[in-house]
Amino acid sequence: MLLERTTRVNFLYDFYHSLLTDKQRAYMQAYYLDDYSLGEIAEEHEVSRQAVYDNVKRTEAMLEQYEEKLKLFEKFQQRMEIIQQLEEQLQVMDKERITALLHTLKEYE
């Protein structure tokens, strides 16, 4: 599994897990957060390895669809970038720049 891909799925899961079913959450949690293999998860839930794989892949696609519609992860990253800039500007106490950054931050829902 590529690390970057795993990180993204973890973030998307963090933002949208409340919209998933209990089973989807159980598989995703086991596979991505607790690092169990597909085979181990299949054994635990008494289903085929393929069934777990299909469920996980479908859930990943759902998470990407939610992100496409709501863009919570994207907006979160943008806000974090602005907050970082605010912290930098705070070091030099540039009041005008800080005010402008706060204004930008307010634009984000």
Enumerate binding residues for a copy of itself (CB under 8 A).
14-16, 18-19, 66, 69-70, 72, 76, 80, 83, 86-87, 90, 93, 95, 98-99, 102, 105-106, 109
3 state SS of 36: coil
* Residue closer to a copy of itself, measured from CB, 4 or 106: 106
* Residue closer to a copy of itself, measured from CB, 33 or 90: 90
* Residue closer to a copy of itself, measured from CB, 26 or 105: 105
In whole angstroms, the minimum distance from the beta carbon of 69 to a copy of itself comes to: 4
In whole angstroms, the minimum distance from the beta carbon of 30 to a copy of itself comes to: 22
In whole angstroms, the minimum distance from the beta carbon of 106 to a copy of itself comes to: 6
- How far apart CA 88 and CA 20 sit, in angstroms, is 38
In whole angstroms, the minimum distance from the beta carbon of 25 to a copy of itself comes to: 12
Three-class HEC string of 68-94: HHHCHHHHHHHHHHHHHHHHHHHHHCC
Tally of residues, the chain: 109
* Residue closer to a copy of itself, measured from CB, 49 or 89: 89
- How far apart CA 51 and CA 58 sit, in angstroms, is 11
Contact between residue 64 and residue 12 where contact means Cβ atoms under 8 Å apart: yes
Contact between residue 73 and residue 15 where contact means Cβ atoms under 8 Å apart: yes
